[in-house]
Structures are given as structure tokens and as C-alpha cells.
């Protein structure tokens, strides 16, 4: 009945029920499944050898599963914070690009900034995809992922804005810079405040 013990513990630890026979790696991930299985084997072997009751051993396994489920929630917030950090980086690249418009070396800087922003946007997409997979079995996971998805739209737009700066004709710079500088300052401030809110949630 050892396999039933672990599934029952997973059922108790999270709101989304585990179907008996469903691979635990699909529910908890490979590393967590290995850690829980090792703990359950050790707790059962040592507990029975020490004369512990089966109920006490079951409780120990349930507590361990609950600890891992809570850690999964924390990992979701960790990935949200990583995603938010990429948004800040992209917003700062946009601001720096506007400041360097029309300056010596400004065109080369914008090219590098656009490439970096593209990399950050791809990393952010990968984080969101990974988070969506991990959130299926975490209580409140869909809420965290929904927030990250909205933030992902922001980094998409920021990456596009950085790229569009590289296409700005030189004769438009004197008109565009005074309009864009205060907007990019607000953008950086908003990105930093969003990151702060995610860090407070952690």
C-alpha cells in the first residue's frame, strides 16, 4: 500500500486532486517526486524498524509532501520575480536607448540594446511556459500565472519599442526624444514597482 500512501498524501496537500495511477512526475515534477519517494521509503523502513505506528508514518509522509507543495508555490513566485527582473532590464534598455538617440555611438548602442531586449523577451516567454506547466497543481497557481501572462505582454511591447528606436530617422530624433524621455522614466518606475510587488509576495 506504499504507493497509495503517497497519492493520499498528495491529495491532502493540494486542492487539485491526484488521480490514482497518474504519474507523480506529472503532478509534482521529477525532482520533487524523487525526494518524496526517498523520504517515504526511509520513513517507512526506519519507522517500522523502530516500532512506530503506521498512522504516525503516514502523518510524517503527509507533512513532507505538504512541505514540498508549499515549496512549489514559492518556486512559482521565484519565477515570477525572475520574469519581473527581465521587464525591468528591458525598460531600462529602452530608457538608455532614448537617452543615446543621436549621440556618438548611439546607433551601435541601440543595436546591442535591441538584441539584448530580444533575448530577454525570449527568456520571459520560456519562464511563462514553464510556469504554466508547474502551476497546474499548485494552489493559486493559475492566479500567479495569469499575472505573469499580463506582464509578459508588457515585455513583448518593451522589446518591440526598443527595436523601433533603431528605425527612428535621424531627423525625427529632436522631436521624439523630449516626448519619449518622460515616458521611459515612467516605464522604468512602473517596472520597478511591479518587481517590488512580486518580491513582497515572495
| pLDDT greater at residue 125 or residue 26 | 125
CA distance 55 to 136: 29
User: What is the maximum span of the chain, computed from C-alpha positions, in angstroms?
Assistant: 84
Query: Which range has the worst mean pLDDT, 16-20, 140-144, 161-165?
Result: 16-20
What pLDDT is recorded for position 74? Answer: 81
Least confident of 50-54, 65-69, 108-112: 65-69
Identify the band that residue 27 occupies on the pLDDT scale cut at 50, 70 and 90: low
Q: Give the pLDDT confidence of 130-144 residue by residue, as tens digits.
A: 888 877 766 678 888
HEC assignment per residue over 37-95: HHHHHHHHHHHHHCCCCHHHHHHHHHHHHHHHHHHHHHHHHHHHHHHHHHHHHHHHHHH
Count of CB atoms situated within 10 Å of the CB of 89? 19
pTM confidence score: 0.72
- Residue 61 is predicted with a pLDDT of 83
Q: State how far the Cα of 190 lies from the Cα of 66, in Å rounded to an integer.
A: 35
For position 188, what pLDDT does the model report?
97
Which residues, in sequence order, are CB contacts of 176 under 8 Å at separation 6+? 101, 168
In this structure, what C-alpha cell is assigned to residue 173?
A: 530624433
CA trace torsion 135, 136, 139, 143 (10° rounding): 60
Question: Tell me: the pLDDT tens digits for 94-123?
Answer: 999 999 998 898 899 999 999 999 999 999
Amino acid at each position: 500500500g506504499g504507493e497509495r500512501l503517497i497519492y493520499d498524501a498528495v491529495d491532502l496537500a493540494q486542492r487539485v486532486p491526484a488521480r490514482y495511477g497518474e504519474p507523480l512526475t506529472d503532478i509534482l515534477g521529477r525532482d520533487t517526486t524523487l525526494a518524496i519517494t526517498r523520504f517515504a521509503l526511509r520513513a517507512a523502513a526506519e519507522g517500522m524498524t523502530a516500532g512506530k505506528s503506521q498512522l504516525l508514518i503516514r502523518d510524517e509522509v503527509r507533512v513532507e509532501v505538504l512541505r514540498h507543495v508549499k515549496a512549489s508555490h514559492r518556486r512559482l513566485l521565484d519565477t515570477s520575480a525572475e520574469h519581473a527582473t527581465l521587464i525591468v532590464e528591458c525598460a531600462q534598455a529602452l530608457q538608455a536607448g532614448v537617452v543615446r538617440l543621436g549621440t556618438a555611438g548611439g546607433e551601435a548602442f541601440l543595436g546591442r540594446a535591441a538584441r539584448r531586449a530580444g533575448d530577454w523577451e525570449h527568456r520571459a516567454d520560456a519562464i511563462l511556459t514553464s510556469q504554466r506547466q508547474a502551476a497546474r497543481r499548485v494552489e493559486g497557481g493559475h492566479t500567479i500565472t495569469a499575472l505573469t501572462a499580463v506582464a509578459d505582454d508588457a515585455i513583448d511591447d518593451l522589446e518591440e519599442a526598443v527595436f523601433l528606436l533603431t528605425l527612428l530617422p535621424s531627423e525625427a530624433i529632436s522631436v521624439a526624444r523630449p516626448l519619449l524621455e518622460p515616458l521611459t522614466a515612467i516605464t522604468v518606475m512602473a517596472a520597478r514597482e511591479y518587481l517590488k510587488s512580486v518580491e513582497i509576495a515572495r
